[in-house]
Structure 1
Amino acid sequence: MGFTEAVRTCLRDKYFTFQGRASRSEYWYFILFMWVTWLVLIIVFLSPGLWMGLVEAMISGGPSGTEYIVAAFVVIVSIALCIPMLTALVRRLHDCNLSGWWVLVMIVIGLIPVVGLLASIFTTIAWFVICVMKGTVGANKHGEDPLQVQKGAEVFA
């Protein structure tokens, strides 16, 4: 699966789909897209002109409409990207024959004040290791292998 196909799959075809499996390429290309998008948003949001506008807003008594619009845009895009990121992670866990409920467990544990900080460090490492592992070859309890060629597909190729 290529970059554009992975982004299209995660953003359009499987935006709210928690069922099924995601190959490593689908997951990692989408993560790359997310990070590039967030980097661009951060660069735009933290541009010198905008910073000067914020400083002037603090001096004059409040932010202008532009700062609110940019901040709202960054928040909306970030929330919109979190949903397919979670669904892609769940499908990636399914590809390794793990339950997607582990994502919810780790989010809840991460909300506990001191334990959450330590847990988030370990879970970040664990998620990375799991997501780079090769998925289950063949079908598993979550569906067919996303890398396996479907029967009859080569006839029409």
Structure 2
Amino acid sequence: MRLGLPEWTVLAVTGERPVHGFAVAALTAPDGELGRVWQVPRPLVYRAIGRLEEAELVTADSVEAAGGPPRTLYAITDLGRRQVGGWLNAPVPHIRDLRSEFLLKLAIHHRQGSDPADLIAAQRRTLVPIVDALAEEHAGADAFDRVLIGWRRASAQAALAFLDEL
């Protein structure tokens, strides 16, 4: 099953400790700790939990019934832990994904107190050939293609500078 950012977010948070969907939705709300980077509306959180449970990456752990309606707590499985660990340290393939997926990975590393140095180094290794290829492509382009390639190249160079600052 191919996971999207809502599923990865839920899986990463579930990997910290058993959690219910309402708590994940609070973290990914616009004013939530992760929502500042990537927002996941409550219905998508619950849909993600269902998909993760179906894929056997999370499992219902217990039911919390303190002070409100009963809420099912979900825990990550061993398979889920392996999957999210690989995802957290994998670079994103496209420059456009740095603002969403890469920053989300950094936020999760920060939240978990883990060192993102390997992720940052891998991301840099991924971007350098893209910048080089765009420079070559720009030299041979004409008219508006130069504008588009110039934008992509400047964005990629800015991303490299950002990674170097980290």
Structure with the larger RCO, 1 or 2 (CA within 8 Å, 6+ apart)? 1
Higher Cα Rg, which structure: 1
**TM above 0.5:** no
TM-score, normalization by structure 2: 0.28
